[in-house]
Amino acid sequence: MEKLLKLTNKSEFLKFLDAVSKINDQGVILDIKDNKISALVSSLDSTLILHTNFDIDCDLETTLNIPDVKKLKHVLDTIEKDEVELVINNNNIQYKGTDVKFKYHLYEEGFITKPNINLDKISKFKYDVEFELDKGNLQRIFKGCGFAHETNKIYFYTEDGKLMAELTDRSRHNTDNFTLSIDEASFNLEAVPLNLDNLRLLSSIDEKFDVRVNTEFGVVVFDIQNNGIKLKYIISALTQ
């Protein structure tokens, strides 16, 4: 009996794959069980980790070792239908459409390893501060990069009852800076520096991120969820 992966919303699944490929597109494990497809990937320097789930209406349970996520995304994009059935064979994914047919080969079990991270431990962290960051403010921050281009750091902090984002490098002298007031803040937050490139990799599938900060371990979590896709970005803070 064939194993079938049924996708009722291919367009949203492509967004899921796109979010994964931005972090790591070479060698990714997709776990399929409990009506979800999940992935855990990290950036090359391990300062950014993404744990993501995609809801499916399918009781298949298997593991797919994907050699190239972008390649899979591109071939799925050639299918014009949004409801898709993929055949899962021992070493490949196959599509048998009337207009498009393909066979995408997989890596063998054990060829790819997942990032070494304890998600349960992170979920139990006490978060000192929580706030929202919307897509509009992110876009304004990135516009400021054209001015403060000498740095690749962004600092989040509070000042005079407001949440601020600053592009600068406090470890260097005479560095131009760009500061943006994001929102009113009823909490206090000492400056938390992040790698700006990591922020560029966040996929805005909705209008806002829920942001949580653990100051003890220097961890910032960005959560976003929409249309059956849940993305949890875990970013390690930099030194000042």
Residue in the structure block whose two tokens are 């066979």: 103
Could you give the count of Cα atoms lying within 13 Å of 58 in the half-sphere of its Cβ? 23
CA max distance for the chain: 67
Q: Which band of pLDDT confidence, cut at 50, 70 and 90, is reported for residue 173?
A: confident
Q: What is the pLDDT of residues 100-158, one digit of tens each?
A: 999 999 999 999 998 888 888 888 889 999 999 999 999 999 999 888 777 889 999 99
What is the model's pLDDT at position 39?
97
Centre a 10 Å sphere on the Cβ of residue 120 and count the other Cβ atoms it contains: 7
What is the model's pLDDT at position 176?
84
pTM of the model: 0.93
SS3 call for 128: coil
3-109: CATH topology: DNA Polymerase III; Chain A, domain 2 (3.10.150)
φ, ψ dihedrals at 160, nearest 5° = 55, 45
Q: What is the pLDDT of residues 5-57, one digit of tens each?
A: 999 999 999 999 999 999 999 999 999 999 999 999 999 888 999 999 999 99
Could you state, in order of their start, the residue ranges of all structural domains in the chain? 3-109, 121-236
- Give the DSSP H or E segment for 197: helix 196-200
Q: What is the pLDDT of residues 174-227, one digit of tens each?
A: 788 899 999 999 999 999 999 999 999 998 888 899 999 999 999 999 999 998
Write down the architecture of domain 121-236 according to CATH. Roll (3.10)
> What angle (nearest 5°) sits at the alpha carbon of residue 201, between those of residues 198 and 5?
135
